[in-house]
Amino acid sequence: MDLSLAQVPVGRVHVIAERCKQCDFCITYCPTDVLIYSEETNAKGYHYPMVAEGKESACVHCRFCDLICPELAIYTTDVADEEDASGESDAG
């Protein structure tokens, strides 16, 4: 599997909690182990991913959590991009 990264930016993790079904893919396959499960559950009763304590700067915006997610429930943005004040996300 190719998890190689183009560069090493800092990413911001976005979670759409209500879509999550707790499949574990994003948490398991995050190359930098950024994610853990939330305490709370969403309406369907699933625990959803969140950034682990101490991992706040660990996301490298590799987008694997985004691409692998069957529910379109998570994605990341490049903090640098945001500082270029480009409001719209073009993660796609």
Applying CB under 8 A, does 65 fall inside the site for other proteins? no
Among 6, 33, 37, 43, binds other proteins (CB under 8 A): 43
Q: Count Cβ atoms within 10 A of the Cβ of residue 63 and give its class: 0-12 exposed, 13-18 middle, 19 or more buried.
A: middle
Applying CB under 8 A, does 5 fall inside the site for other proteins? no
Task: Using only the alpha carbons of the chain, give its radius of gyration.
Answer: 13
Among 5, 37, 47, 51, binds other proteins (CB under 8 A): 51
79, 10 Cβ separation under 8 angstroms = yes
Applying CB under 8 A, does 86 fall inside the site for other proteins? no
